[in-house]
């Protein structure tokens, strides 16, 4: 009894706080921390499955998995590069697109609720089976909306020669790299729209949180709409651009090919060591990517409060 | 010549006319607004089409009869609509039973998610304890790390589930939990379920926004900390409870990743059952034309997403406001 009385209130609160978070803490240690360590362990050894498929023995092989992955594995390096390139292309597109749409949706107009509901629909219907069916249906019904760049370029089924129009624009002396980026963006429009539901909602919320007095001031001072956007709106939603980038990168990575490859390596070819290493390497690359991007952007970010 | 002169003076007159000037400005402004409105409408309608188009395609195709499927002239609106696709898909999905199981599974997980995640979020928001910042950083890490990095160890863990040797001590053998829904429940119970990190984050942000006075008043009145949490804080947190509940419901319902990983029976997880529906139908019912078997799949998909769509339509405002308000932002 005496000992209990000695607990100060803050001590007591600390203990209760720890109790509150304890389920998660145990889970985190059990499922995440331990798993990460185990993944590393798998990565540096060769796992032999025991008979019956249950249980395994690990033999430490050092860095030979690394060597195999980076020198002799036929698909890992190209898939990793492709996934990362996709991410570099897609993330800015999704961010720009969602800012743009949020700006459009922020104004009051009839049917706004309906449109917002439609935009959020892909987040609700993100089941894998449904996605596949939808992708197929897109190709069937789409006509103009092709699902891959190759298709839009050779979209002969619609009876419109897209090549001709692309050729027209190619003559405008836009640099080829920029042009290809735009073409890719247009061809991917369907997947970009589907991937930006949450981001749009977040940006709309951010736009509505901008104090209207700021707009009044800039109007009185005679700023044009363009100036108002860059000097008021953009800085105010800047912190959420960061949030959205993180969200988009994580979301994009979870659906990327390299993750699929590591999953298949583990569960189809039963190569535990190599698969674990793949997921580790790709995770490290994505985390690096996130750290670099966040570092670059958070320096420029303006915080109102 | 005279005519030109006349017009010139006329134009000169108009230029000096203030009333006309005002009118002109008004028209310019109005036409600008109209153009902008048109621009917005065109873009929004286009994007809505991109999202809704495939869905409309699926729904309309699910009513196609064989002759509609063969007739290339039929587009979107079937000539001889049939419910046959739904009948068979309903039968092969064992719809009512599977949906019931699925709902029980998803709802119970939802309750666990809400209770556990709100508790953890509250713990982080209101209590001071050593290493708090680091631990909360770990929550963020949990959100950011893709689950794929840790799936293999988790898989192995549940293959021989024996924490600290406790279970084998009691029952005498090491159980294999794969193939049942137990791993999902255990993980959710320990705050590591599907997107639990995100939910913890949402709750944390929400509780931090609540005024401290509520709790202090409760404390002064003699309420214990657990009582305060369950009877006062949780009641105040209803908006975010609803958000998390709805998201957890829908995402868990859609999830096939954990379902596949733990090999949970398709009779419990309807989103797993739908992935094999087309094969089942073409094998069992001998519908060999892939295109027609696909129509059955479409009907099945409509059946599967129907509950989600209903929940969404009813609670649509909650969904979006939930994302806006409950802390993901800011």
Where b means 16+ CB within 10 Å and e means fewer, A15-47 reads: ebbbbbbebbbebbebbbeebbebbeebbbbbb
Distance CA A250, CA B197 (A): 13
How many residues make up chain A in this entry? 305
| Cβ–Cβ < 8 Å for A237, A214 | no
Q: How many CB atoms lie within 10 A of CB A161?
A: 12
Classified as helix, coil or strand, B195 is coil
- Which residues make beta-bridge pairs with A58? A47
Q: How far apart are CA B298 and CA B295, in angstroms?
A: 5
SS (H, E, C) chain A: CHHHHHCCHHHHHHHHHHHHHHHHHHHHHHHHHHHHHHHHHHHCEEEEECCCCCCEEEEECCCHHHHHHHHHCCCHHHHHHHHHHHHHHHHHHHHHHHHHHHHHHHCCCCCHHHHHHHHHHHHHCCCHHHHHHHHHHHHHHHCCCCCCHHHHHCCCCCCCCHHHHHHHHHCCCCCHHHHHHHHHHHHCHHHHHHHCHHHHHHHHHHHHHCCHHHHHHHHHCCCCHHHHHHHHHHHHHHHHHHHHHHHHHHHHHHCCHHHHHHHHHHHCCCCHHHHHHHHHHHHHHHHHHHHHHHHHHHHHCCCCC
Q: Give how far B152 is from chain A: nearest CA, Å.
A: 7
Structural contact between residues A97 and A193, judged by C-beta atoms closer than 8 angstroms? yes
A36 touches B at CB < 8 Å: yes
Contacts of A274 in chain B (CB under 8 A): none
- As a residue count, chain B comes to 330
pLDDT of residue B330: 44
Asked if the Cβ–Cβ distance from A115 to B150 is below 8 Å, we say: no
What pLDDT is recorded for position B120? 92
pLDDT of residue A152: 43
**Interval A210-214 mean pLDDT:** 88
Describe the crossing of helices A9-27 and B95-126 by its angle, rounded to 10 degrees.
150
pLDDT of residue A147: 38
Which chain B residues contact residue A109 at CB under 8 A? 37, 40
Residues in chain A closer than 8 A to B189 (CB atoms): 23, 27
Q: Tell me what the pLDDT averaged over chain A comes to.
A: 79
pLDDT tens digit sequence for B188-226: 999 888 888 888 988 888 888 888 888 888 888 888 878
Domain B86-325 fold: MetI-like fold (1.10.3720)
CB-closest option in B48, B120, B274 to A24:
B120
- B292 sits in which H/E element: helix B290-325
Q: Report CA-CA distances (Å) from B134 to B113, B124, B137, B141.
A: 23, 11, 5, 10
B73-102: average pLDDT:
87
Distance of alpha carbon A213 from alpha carbon A205, whole angstroms? 17
Q: Considering Cα of A110, then A112, then A118, then A124, what sign does the dihedral take?
A: negative
Summarize the confidence of residues B114-141 as an average pLDDT: 89
Pick from A170, A280, A25, A287: nearest CA to B189: A25
> Which residue of chain B has the CA closest to A248?
B144
Of B116, B153, B250, the CB nearest to A23: B116
Whether residues A239 and B330 touch (CB distance < 8 A) is answered with: yes
User: What are the sequence ranges of the domains in chain B?
Assistant: 86-325
Where do the domains of chain A lie?
A: 1-39, 66-300
> CB of B174 within 8 A of CB of A282?
no
Q: How far is CA A14 from the centre of its chain?
A: 36
Q: Considering only residues 47 to 86 of chain A, which have any Cβ-Cβ distance to chain B shorter than 8 Å?
A: 54-56
Q: Which residue of B127, B163, B190 is in closest CB contact with A17?
A: B127
Question: Is the pLDDT score of B55 beyond 60?
Answer: yes
Determine the Cα–Cα distance for residues B45 and A119; give it in Å rounded to an integer. Answer: 11
B-facing residues of A in 171-230 (CB < 8 A) are 189-190, 193-194, 198, 201-202, 204-206, 208-209
Q: Which band of pLDDT confidence, cut at 50, 70 and 90, is reported for residue A6?
A: low
Q: Indicate if ipTM > 0.95.
A: no
Q: Which residues pair with A46 in a beta bridge?
A: A59
pTM (predicted TM-score): 0.82
Q: What chain B residue is nearest to A56 in terms of C-alpha separation?
A: B156
H/E stretch holding B140: helix B132-144
Q: How far apart are CA A229 and CA A103, in angstroms?
A: 10
B164: left (phi over 0), alpha (psi -120 to 50) or beta: left
Most confident by average pLDDT, A67-71, B276-280, B300-304: B300-304
**Cβ–Cβ of A127/B254 closer than 8 Å?**
yes
From the options 1.10.3720.10, 2.40.50.100, 3.40.50.970, 3.40.47.10, give the CATH code of A66-300: 1.10.3720.10
Which residue is closest to B269 within chain A, CA to CA?
A: A127
Distance from CA of B224 to the nearest CA of A (A): 11
**Subunit contact A141:B76, Cβ cutoff 8 A:** yes
Which residues on B lie below 8 Å from A266 (Cβ)? 151-152
User: Would you tell me how many other CB atoms lie within 10 Å of the CB of residue A183?
Assistant: 17
- What is the percentage of chain A residues whose pLDDT exceeds 90? 5
CB contact under 8 A, A35 and B76: no
The pLDDT tens digits of the residues spanning A50-87 come to 655 556 777 777 777 788 888 888 888 888 998 888 88
State the nearest Cα–Cα gap between B297 and chain A, in angstroms.
Answer: 8
Q: Give the confidence band of A139 by pLDDT, cuts at 50, 70, 90.
A: low
Chain B nearest-CA distance from A40, in A, is: 10
Q: Are A237 and A228 in contact (CB under 8 A)?
A: no
Partner residue facing B320 (CB), from A39, A116, A133:
A116
Ordered alpha helix ranges (H), B193-276:
196-209, 212-220, 225-227, 234-236, 238-254, 257-261, 270-273
Whole-number pLDDT of residue B296:
87
């Amino acid at each position: 009894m005496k000992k209990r009385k000695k607990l100060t209130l803050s001590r007591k609160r600390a203990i209760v706080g720890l109790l509150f978070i304890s389920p998660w803490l145990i889970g985190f240690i059990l499922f995440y921390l331990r798993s990460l360590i185990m993944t590393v362990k798998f990565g540096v050894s060769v796992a032999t499955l025991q008979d019956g498929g249950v249980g395994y023995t690990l033999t430490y092989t050092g860095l030979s998995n690394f060597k195999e992955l980076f020198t002799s594995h036929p698909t890992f390096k190209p898939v990793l590069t492709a996934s990362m390139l996709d991410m570099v292309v897609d993330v800015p597109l999704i961010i720009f697109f969602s800012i743009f749409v949020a700006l459009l949706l922020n104004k009051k107009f009839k049917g706004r609720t309906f449109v917002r509901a439609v935009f959020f629909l892909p987040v609700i219907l993100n089941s894998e089976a449904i996605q596949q069916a939808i992708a197929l249906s897109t190709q069937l019904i789409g006509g103009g909306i092709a699902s891959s760049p190759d298709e839009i370029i050779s979209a002969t089924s619609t009876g419109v020669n897209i090549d001709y129009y692309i050729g027209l624009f190619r003559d405008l002396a836009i640099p080829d790299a920029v042009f290809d980026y735009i073409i890719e963006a247009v061809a991917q429009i369907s997947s970009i729209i589907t991937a930006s539901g949450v981001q749009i909602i977040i940006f709309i919320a951010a736009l509505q949180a901008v104090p209207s007095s700021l707009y009044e001031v800039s109007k009185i001072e005679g700023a044009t709409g363009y100036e108002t956007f860059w000097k008021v709106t953009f800085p105010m939603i800047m912190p959420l651009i960061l949030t959205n980038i993180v969200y988009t990168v994580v979301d994009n990575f979870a659906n990327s090919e390299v993750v699929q490859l590591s999953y298949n390596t583990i569960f189809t070819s039963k190569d535990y060591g190599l698969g674990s290493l793949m997921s580790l390497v790709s995770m490290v690359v994505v985390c690096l990517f996130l750290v670099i991007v966040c570092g670059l952007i958070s320096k420029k970010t303006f915080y109102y409060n | 010549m005279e005519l030109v002169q006349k017009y010139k003076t006329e134009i000169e007159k108009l230029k000096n006319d203030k009333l006309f000037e005002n009118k002109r400005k008004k028209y310019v402004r109005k036409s600008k607004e109209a153009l902008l409105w048109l621009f917005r409408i065109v873009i929004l309608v286009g994007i809505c089409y991109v999202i809704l188009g495939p869905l409309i395609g699926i729904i309309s195709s699910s009513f196609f009869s064989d002759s509609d499927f063969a007739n290339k002239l039929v587009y979107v609106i079937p000539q001889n609509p049939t419910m046959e696709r739904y009948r068979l898909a309903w039968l092969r999905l064992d719809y009512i039973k599977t949906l019931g199981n699925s709902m029980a599974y998803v709802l119970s997980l939802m309750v666990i998610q809400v209770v556990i995640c709100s508790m953890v979020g509250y713990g982080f928001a209101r209590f001071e304890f050593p290493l708090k910042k680091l631990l909360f950083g770990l929550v963020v890490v949990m959100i950011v790390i893709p689950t794929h990095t840790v799936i293999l160890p988790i898989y192995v863990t549940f293959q021989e589930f024996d924490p600290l040797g406790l279970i084998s001590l009691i029952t005498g053998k090491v159980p294999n939990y794969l193939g049942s829904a137990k791993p999902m429940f255990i993980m959710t119970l320990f705050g590591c379920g599907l997107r639990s990190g995100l939910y913890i984050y949402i709750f944390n942000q929400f509780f931090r926004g609540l005024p401290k006075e509520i709790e202090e008043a409760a404390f002064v009145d003699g309420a214990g900390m657990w009582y305060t949490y369950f009877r006062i804080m949780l009641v105040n947190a209803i908006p975010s409870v609803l958000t998390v509940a709805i998201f957890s419901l829908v995402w868990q319902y859609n999830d096939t990743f954990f379902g596949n990983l733990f090999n949970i029976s398709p009779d419990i997880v309807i989103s797993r059952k739908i992935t094999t529906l087309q094969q089942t139908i073409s094998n069992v019912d001998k519908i060999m034309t892939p295109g027609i078997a696909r129509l059955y799949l479409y009907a099945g998909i409509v059946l599967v997403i129907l509950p989600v769509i209903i929940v969404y339509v009813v609670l649509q405002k909650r969904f979006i406001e939930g994302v806006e308000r409950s802390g993901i932002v800011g």
